[in-house]
């Protein structure tokens, strides 16, 4: 009897695996960037991201201080690398951002100020799979990523000098 149950379970798993494979091969799983993801895909992506970030994001405080110079450097890096998808101080999506799916959060209005710095750092460094968020770990150094992180953490309460620089950043 046990042998029959094992064979039944294995056969079921093989059939399910084959069905998934054939569905992917037949194009039943959308690959287009403007296609709405299924509930299963959204759940898997969200759950995986949350678990990975909880496990891997730095827990310690940022290794650089919150200074005007670091905030301004972060703002400039944001303008060069992030505003095209995440918007500028006016919170208006750029022409590129309007074509993204998943929609990139417009950080001037839907910011990450409440997120721990380590989570923001991890997302910038590694990017986020199944979204248009790239990894900047190979193109920016650690200090630059922390400067970006500090700006994003404090963007809703910037001192006067960084605030002036931030107001000058425009979406393309």
Any residues with CB less than 8 A from the CB of 107 and at least 6 apart, and which?
Answer: 82, 86, 87, 152, 155
pTM: 0.84
Res 28: pLDDT: 76
Closest residue by Cα to residue 145 from 37, 62, 43, 89: 62
- The two tokens of residue 146 are 């922390």
Domain ranges of the chain: 2-31, 56-168
Tens digits of residue pLDDT in 117-164: 999 999 999 999 888 899 999 999 999 999 999 999 999 999 999 999
Decide yes or no: CATH 1.10.760.10 for domain 56-168. yes
Higher-confidence position of 152 and 37: 152
Any residues with CB less than 8 A from the CB of 119 and at least 6 apart, and which?
Answer: 53, 57, 112
Tens digits of residue pLDDT in 46-69: 999 999 999 999 999 999 999 999
For the beta carbon of residue 48, count every other beta carbon within 10 angstroms. 13
């Amino acid at each position: 009897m046990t042998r029959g149950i094992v064979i039944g379970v294995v056969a079921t798993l093989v059939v399910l695996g084959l069905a998934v494979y054939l569905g992917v091969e037949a194009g039943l799983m959308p690959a287009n960037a403007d296609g709405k993801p299924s509930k299963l895909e959204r759940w898997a992506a969200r759950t995986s991201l949350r678990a990975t970030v909880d496990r891997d994001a730095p827990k310690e405080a940022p290794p650089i201080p919150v200074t005007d110079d670091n905030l301004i450097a972060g703002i400039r890096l944001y303008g060069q690398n992030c505003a095209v998808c995440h918007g500028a101080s006016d919170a208006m999506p750029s022409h590129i951002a309007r074509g993204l799916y998943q929609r990139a959060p417009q950080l001037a209005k839907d910011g990450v100020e409440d997120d721990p710095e380590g989570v923001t750092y991890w997302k910038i460094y590694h990017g986020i799979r199944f979204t248009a968020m790239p990894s900047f770990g190979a193109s920016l150094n650690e200090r630059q990523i922390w400067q970006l992180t500090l700006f994003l953490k404090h963007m809703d309460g910037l001192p006067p000098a960084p605030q002036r620089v931030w107001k000058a950043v425009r979406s393309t």
